[in-house]
Amino acid sequence: MPAATLAEVVHQAGWKVIPLDLAGVTDQAGFMDRATKALDLPEFAGRNWQAFQDACGDIGWGPEVPGRLLVVVGWRDYAKAQPEQWESAQQVLESVAGRQQKYDSTLAVVLTLI
């Protein structure tokens, strides 16, 4: 029997798994478009990093308990094409995850290598 993936394990434990596919994305606008759709954010969220961060902190991603897992795939092209923007994206996701913990909610972000 094949081993279960992390996403399968946390889903079975009641977590909401949110895939974010960045394959082919090479600019901030592309990142914002994909992330806004994946996270079901309002359209205004994807226009700058501050608006994106604010919207991520306000949405009802449910279930809050035990948590949510954001699985980011295909991110390498973006990281290579826009290293400074990729750094900003990571900082925003880290900030949002930290803020969620303050409210007894868990958001984990995983960058896949495959």
pTM of this structure: 0.83
**CATH 3.30.370.10, domain 6-111, yes or no:** yes
Under a CB-based contact definition with an 8 Å cutoff, are residues 57 and 103 in contact?
no
Residue 1's pLDDT is: 47
- pLDDT confidence bin for 106, thresholds 50/70/90: confident
Under a CB-based contact definition with an 8 Å cutoff, are residues 106 and 100 in contact?
yes
pLDDT at 40 exceeding the cut of 90: no
